[in-house]
């Protein structure tokens, strides 16, 4: 039987059937509703109902801290204010199939670690630069989830003590400077405010202020990589998310790394599975992992 994998992000919810060989089929995607828990639950349930035929198990990767079957948001603003949501119970109402839950970036890290074309990496860091900034840490070849699901929430490490208030309650988190949400927010006072994709489009048209916003994001990520490399002896970094995978973003991280000491310049590469890392990682974790 196939596993129905679901990836719940702050901007989109994707689903696909994953077979034993890790092949995806019947991929679907909807926009994450930001109008409260009831709308969120019914959109998720509709997507599940549509995707269920052919599935014998469910594996979910979701934004938020995944703790005892619930989604606990560190930054509720990323979900339109939802702070605590009964994820397992909501899924169970649609299907009684066996279900595993994992944080989205932790799941993506697991899939990307399996995809590395080398056996020489014991410690790997995955970073998604998306609605928020998420992370998944592989230490001694094992995915770190933590006793409370918190491991890898590196978007809430500090980038700038003078930075903006983050939805988690701290000032100057990496997420408040580097995420797609932060990139768009940096244009809020412009005559025509832009989306993150709009900022990238302007930057590639040589618009200097747009380029500076993306560089501020990329250099916050380069410093985050440096800090985590110092703490954990990270050997390889994999970047995902729509901002992380946007054209030119990785090159800006690499450029920012050149301003740091050589020991901080941990090699960075794009996600092999692109937008499907979370889906695939959830499915892989359900078969190889333990919950």
- Applying CB under 6 A, which residues contact ligand ADP? 9-12, 130-131, 180-181, 195-197, 200, 241-243, 246
Among 15, 90, 100, 103, binds ligand BMX (CB under 6 A): 103
Minimum distance from residue 77 beta carbon to ligand BMX (Å): 8
For the bound state, the minimum distance from the C-beta of residue 63 to ligand ADP, rounded and expressed in Å, comes to 7
- If binding is defined by CB under 6 A, does position 105 make contact with ligand BMX? yes
The pairing of beta strand 133-139 with beta strand 24-31: unpaired
Q: Which of 2, 3, 4, 10 binds ligand BMX (CB under 6 A)?
A: 10
**Token pair for 286:** 């359900």
Q: How many residues does the chain have?
A: 291
Query: At closest approach, how far in Å is the CB of 258 from ligand BMX?
Result: 27
10 in Cβ contact with 131 (< 8 Å): yes
Out of ligand ADP, Zn ion, ligand BMX, none, what residue 195 binds, judged by CB under 5 to 8 A for its kind, is ligand ADP
Q: Residue 65 and residue 151: Cα distance in Å, rounded? A: 9
| Nearest residue to 143 (alpha-carbon basis) of 8, 279, 289 | 289
* 131 near ligand BMX (CB under 6 A): yes
- For residue 2, the number of C-alpha atoms closer than 13 Å in the C-beta half-sphere is 21
Query: What is the spatial distance between Cα 28 and Cα 47, in angstroms, rounded to a whole number?
Result: 8
Residues 6 or more apart whose Cβ sits within 8 Å of residue 203: 210, 211, 213, 214, 248
Interface with ligand BMX (CB under 6 A)? 9-10, 63-65, 73-75, 78-79, 103-105, 128, 130-134, 153, 155, 175
Interface with Zn ion (CB under 5 A)? 156, 166, 168, 170, 173
């Amino acid at each position: 039987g196939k596993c129905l994998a679901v990836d719940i992000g702050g901007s989109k919810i994707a689903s696909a059937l994953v077979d034993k060989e890790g092949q995806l089929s019947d991929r679907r995607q909807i926009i994450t509703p930001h109008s409260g828990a009831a709308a969120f639950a019914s959109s998720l349930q509709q997507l599940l109902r549509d995707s269920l035929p052919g599935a014998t198990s469910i594996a979910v990767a979701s934004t938020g801290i995944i703790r005892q079957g619930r989604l606990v948001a560190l930054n509720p603003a990323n979900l339109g204010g939802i702070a605590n949501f009964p994820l397992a119970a909501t899924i169970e109402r649609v299907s009684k199939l066996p279900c595993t839950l994992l944080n989205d970036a932790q799941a993506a890290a697991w899939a990307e670690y399996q995809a590395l074309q080398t056996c020489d990496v014991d410690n790997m860091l995955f970073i998604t630069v998306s609605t928020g900034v998420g992370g998944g840490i592989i230490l001694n070849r094992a995915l770190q989830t933590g006793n409370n699901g918190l491991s890898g929430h590196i978007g809430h490490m500090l980038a700038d003590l003078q930075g903006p208030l983050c939805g988690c309650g701290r000032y100057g988190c990496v997420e408040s400077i580097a995420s797609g949400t932060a990139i768009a927010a940096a244009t809020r006072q412009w005559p025509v405010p832009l989306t993150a994709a709009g900022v990238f489009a302007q930057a590639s048209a040589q618009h200097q202020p747009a380029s500076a916003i993306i560089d501020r994001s990329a250099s916050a990520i380069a410093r985050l990589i440096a800090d985590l490399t110092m703490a954990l002896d990270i050997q390889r970094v994999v970047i995902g998310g729509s901002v992380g995978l946007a054209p030119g973003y990785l090159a800006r991280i690499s450029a920012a790394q050149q301003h740091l000491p050589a020991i901080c310049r941990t090699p960075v590469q794009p996600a092999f599975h692109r937008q499907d890392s979370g889906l695939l990682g959830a499915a892989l974790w359900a078969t190889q992992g333990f919950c």
